[in-house]
Amino acid sequence: MLEVRNLHAFYGKSHILHGVHLQLREGECVSLLGRNGVGRSTTLKAIMGMVDASGSVKFRGEELIGMEAFRVAHKGLGYVPENRDVFPTLTVRENLALGMKAGMKSARASGRWKLADMFELFPLLAERATAPAGVLSGGEQQMLTLARTLMGDPQLVMIDEPTEGLAPKLVELVAELFREIKRRGVSILLVEQKLAIALDISERCYIMGHGTIVFEGTPQQLRGNSTIRQEWLEV
């Protein structure tokens, strides 16, 4: 479904990614792990067309490098940024409505994600439906950003640090949402600091270090490799 080959990315003259490679199959959840500052978030932004990048990013066989971010989104990729990026003066309901792409008749017909689904999955959003997004707590804004992205009916959703700063109960709620996303056939590329959650919901995982991939394997293989964990994950 997604094939990344020799991906390089830059912020001005700063060379951040150094030949990243990864693959993601239909309906699969893959975690991208590593310490802060190794290039995980930049990888998602490069796939989404939000930073200067070279190499190859193919989604269902179509090359995305050089494509504007909004066109990448219309190909079926959803992106949930770490900083949430809600529209603070618009209500929760209005934020969710903006997540739908223009002319999304197929999404309405498929019934995969509708407004009612979001309110069922996130009862707190239903309670705050008419409140401006800017008054929501950090956890509620994270829920809203996830829900808004799903309203666009993505085939693949890339999620950056969704549980950062959340209370334990909200962390489990978010983890359950990921399971529901998988049940509905949507692929997930997840950047997550909490190793237990990432390994619990993923079929495979990659570890990044110094702007490149240093490990690829199953959660079971990573759990059994203390050397890799100590070198690239543990503080």
What is the per-residue pLDDT across 46-78, written as a single tens digit (0 to 9) for each?
999 999 999 999 999 999 999 999 999 999 999
| Structural domain includes residue 62 | yes
| Structural domain includes residue 100 | no
| Structural domain includes residue 6 | yes
| Structural domain includes residue 38 | yes
CATH number assigned to the domain comprising residue 223 = 3.40.50.300
28-60 exposure pattern, b = at least 16 Cβ within 10 A, e = fewer: bbbbbbbeeebbbbbbbbbbbbbbebebebebe
* DSSP alpha helix (H) spans, the chain: 40-48, 69-74, 92-98, 105-110, 115-121, 123-127, 138-151, 168-183, 195-201, 219-223, 226-232
| Structural domain includes residue 20 | yes
116-133 exposure pattern, b = at least 16 Cβ within 10 A, e = fewer: ebbbebbebbeebeeebb
| Structural domain includes residue 221 | yes
The model's pLDDT over 176-231, given as tens digits with 9 standing for 90+, comes to 888 988 998 899 999 998 898 899 999 999 999 999 999 999 999 999 999 999 99
| Structural domain includes residue 190 | no
Q: How many helices (H) and strands (E) does the chain have?
A: 11, 10
The model's pLDDT over 14-46, given as tens digits with 9 standing for 90+, comes to 999 999 999 999 999 999 999 999 999 999 999
**Residue range of the domain that includes 3:** 1-74+197-235
The model's pLDDT over 134-185, given as tens digits with 9 standing for 90+, comes to 999 888 898 899 999 999 999 999 999 988 877 787 788 888 888 988 998 8
| Structural domain includes residue 177 | no
Sign of CA dihedral 84, 86, 92, 96: negative
Decide if 119 contacts 138 (C-beta within 8 A): no
Q: Please calculate the CA angle 128-133-137 and round it to the nearest 5 degrees.
A: 75
SS3 2: strand
Q: Please calculate the CA angle 70-16-164 and round it to the nearest 5 degrees.
A: 70
How many domains does the chain contain in total? 1
Q: Has this prediction a pTM greater than 0.85?
A: yes
- Tokens of residue 34, six digits: 């590593």
Closest to 50 (Cα-Cα) out of 10, 98, 88:
10
